[in-house]
């Protein structure tokens, strides 16, 4: 079990929701990468709550402070630690969380795993807040990738049963991806986005919550990145994605739908375009045999509805050793999908960069 991820770039994440600070250590960063600190902060701001009525009204500043590994505007090549201080927390009593296990949350699983010693306040290390350092790390990776011409973009494909169109699997305009990233609600079609937001507001009014699907594309990634057994690009991306709280599924290219296609329709035929190898379709999500094949990398992740809801639920009391009822009070997100978009992008960028460094080892 490890709070560290990556082969060549190792990301170490730490922190609890109500501890002193949360943060990360980025190990293995190549020296000499120029970082735009304002752009890094913007990525953190995309994830931050409290901006509108779609998310919790908690205000979290999420200002990062680099401690090491950065000098005169560039990475040094030594471990880069960034911390985000937790603001003064409400003095409210969290002890109910120590006793009554919230359904859909990690409370009970974590209680067993950590033998009752975990910091339960606000979800502790399981809190979605811990994705902030992940966004920081991924934002560094996104800048490095951009310097290589590689773009990572994502959109909200669906909220509950309301969907917009999928990305064109052969690629979208880079400008479109940037435009989406700049939106408060990351969709291509704002009209559909309005419906999605209405669905979230409706769930909130109903003391309920909703989930959705996020689709991600990586453009201009070269062929030859990845491996079969056991570090396929799909393996590495999936590994990372399931570390993001609330993700319950991932599929590449056509994904589950490809299981209903036939070989003659599912295979991506190949041809030369201006002397370069290309596929004519992209049912495989840009990856065959675990390795990029010159098409964009494309995948979708399923996000479950926020488990925190204001309705009474049946659960257990550990203290009493018997069944009980629980009504979660306080502010929580009726939907986390829109806030998860920069998290998924960040997580993607970190993996892609790590895999690109992997390929560099064999360069002639």
Pick out residues in 239-258 that bind a copy of itself (CB under 8 A).
239-243, 245, 247-256, 258
- Between 187 and 250, name the residue whose CB sits nearer to a copy of itself: 250
CB of 90 to a copy of itself, least distance (A): 17
Applying CB under 8 A, the span of 44-52, 121-129, 139-147, 169-177 interacting with a copy of itself comes to 121-129
| Angstrom distance (rounded) from CA 207 to CA 221 | 43
CB of 232 to a copy of itself, least distance (A): 5
Applying CB under 8 A, the span of 56-64, 174-182, 184-192, 218-226 interacting with a copy of itself comes to 218-226
| Angstrom distance (rounded) from CA 11 to CA 105 | 25
Q: Using CB under 8 A as the criterion, what x/- string covers residues 15-34 for binding a copy of itself?
A: xx--xxxxx-x-xx-xxx--
Among 143, 209, 219, 282, binds a copy of itself (CB under 8 A): 209
| Angstrom distance (rounded) from CA 250 to CA 199 | 23
By the rule CB under 8 A, 132 interacts with a copy of itself: no
End-to-end CA distance of the chain: 36
Among 56, 284, 338, 348, binds a copy of itself (CB under 8 A): 284
By the rule CB under 8 A, 200 interacts with a copy of itself: no
Task: Identify the bridge partners of residue 247 per DSSP, sorted by sequence position.
Answer: 303
DSSP 218: E
Q: Using CB under 8 A as the criterion, what x/- string covers residues 290-309 for binding a copy of itself?
A: xxxxx-------xxxxxxxx
- What would the two tokens of residue 42 be? 């913007």
- Between 178 and 327, name the residue whose CB sits nearer to a copy of itself: 327
Q: In the window 66-95, what residues touch a copy of itself (CB under 8 A)? A: 66-69, 71-72, 74-81, 83
List all residues 6 or more positions away from 70 whose beta carbon is below 8 Å from its beta carbon.
35, 76, 80
Among 197, 219, 232, 348, binds a copy of itself (CB under 8 A): 232
The kind and range of the H/E element at 249 are strand 247-252
Comparing CA positions, the residue from 140, 131, 353, 153 lying closest to residue 233 is 353
By the rule CB under 8 A, 139 interacts with a copy of itself: no
- Between 176 and 290, name the residue whose CB sits nearer to a copy of itself: 290
DSSP 165: P
| Angstrom distance (rounded) from CA 41 to CA 353 | 20
Pairing of strands 247-252, 270-273: unpaired
By the rule CB under 8 A, 130 interacts with a copy of itself: yes
Applying CB under 8 A, the span of 87-95, 137-145, 188-196, 224-232 interacting with a copy of itself comes to 224-232
By the rule CB under 8 A, 193 interacts with a copy of itself: no
| Angstrom distance (rounded) from CA 165 to CA 175 | 17
CB of 311 to a copy of itself, least distance (A): 6
Comparing CA positions, the residue from 99, 130, 105, 101 lying closest to residue 19 is 130
Q: In the window 332-361, what residues touch a copy of itself (CB under 8 A)? A: 357-361
- Between 10 and 176, name the residue whose CB sits nearer to a copy of itself: 10
| Angstrom distance (rounded) from CA 218 to CA 296 | 6
Comparing CA positions, the residue from 347, 332, 43, 39 lying closest to residue 186 is 43
| Angstrom distance (rounded) from CA 221 to CA 201 | 38
CB of 24 to a copy of itself, least distance (A): 9
Among positive and negative, which fits the CA dihedral 71, 76, 81, 84? positive
CB of 178 to a copy of itself, least distance (A): 26
CB of 294 to a copy of itself, least distance (A): 7
């Amino acid at each position: 079990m490890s709070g560290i991820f990556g082969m060549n770039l190792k990301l170490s994440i730490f922190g609890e929701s109500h501890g002193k600070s949360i943060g990360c250590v980025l190990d293995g960063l190549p020296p000499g990468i120029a970082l735009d600190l304002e752009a890094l902060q913007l990525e953190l701001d995309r994830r931050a709550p409290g901006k509108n009525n779609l998310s919790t009204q908690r205000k979290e500043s999420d200002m990062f402070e680099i401690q090491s590994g950065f000098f005169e505007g560039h990475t040094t090549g030594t471990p880069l630690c960034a911390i985000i201080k937790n603001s003064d927390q409400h003095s409210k009593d969290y002890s109910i969380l120590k006793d009554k296990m919230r359904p859909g949350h990690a409370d009970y699983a974590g209680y067993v795993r950590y033998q009752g010693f975990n910091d339960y306040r606000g979800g502790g290390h399981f809190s979605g807040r811990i994705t902030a350092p992940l966004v920081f790390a991924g934002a560094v990776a996104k800048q490095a990738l951009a310097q290589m011409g590689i773009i990572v973009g994502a959109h909200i494909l669906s909220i509950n049963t309301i969907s917009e169109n999928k990305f064109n699997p052969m690629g979208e305009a880079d400008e479109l991806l940037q435009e989406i990233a700049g939106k408060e609600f990351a969709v291509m079609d704002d009209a559909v986005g309005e419906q999605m937001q209405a669905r979230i507001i409706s769930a909130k009014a109903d003391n309920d919550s909703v989930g959705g699907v996020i689709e991600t594309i990586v453009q201009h990634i070269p062929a030859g990145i990845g491996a079969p057994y056991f570090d396929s690009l799909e393996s590495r991306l999936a590994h990372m994605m399931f570390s993001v709280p609330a993700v319950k599924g991932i599929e590449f290219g056509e994904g589950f739908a490809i299981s209903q296609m036939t070989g003659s329709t599912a295979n991506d035929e190949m041809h030369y375009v201006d002397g370069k190898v290309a596929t004519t379709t992209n049912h495989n999500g840009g990856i065959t045999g675990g390795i990029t094949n010159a098409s964009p990398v494309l995948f979708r992740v399923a996000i479950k509805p926020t488990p925190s809801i204001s309705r009474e639920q049946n659960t257990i009391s550990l203290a009493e050793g018997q069944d009980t009822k629980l009504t979660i009070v306080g502010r929580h997100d009726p939907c986390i999908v829109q806030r998860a978009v920069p998290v998924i992008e960040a997580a993607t960028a970190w993996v892609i960069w790590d895999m690109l460094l992997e390929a560099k080892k064999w360069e002639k």
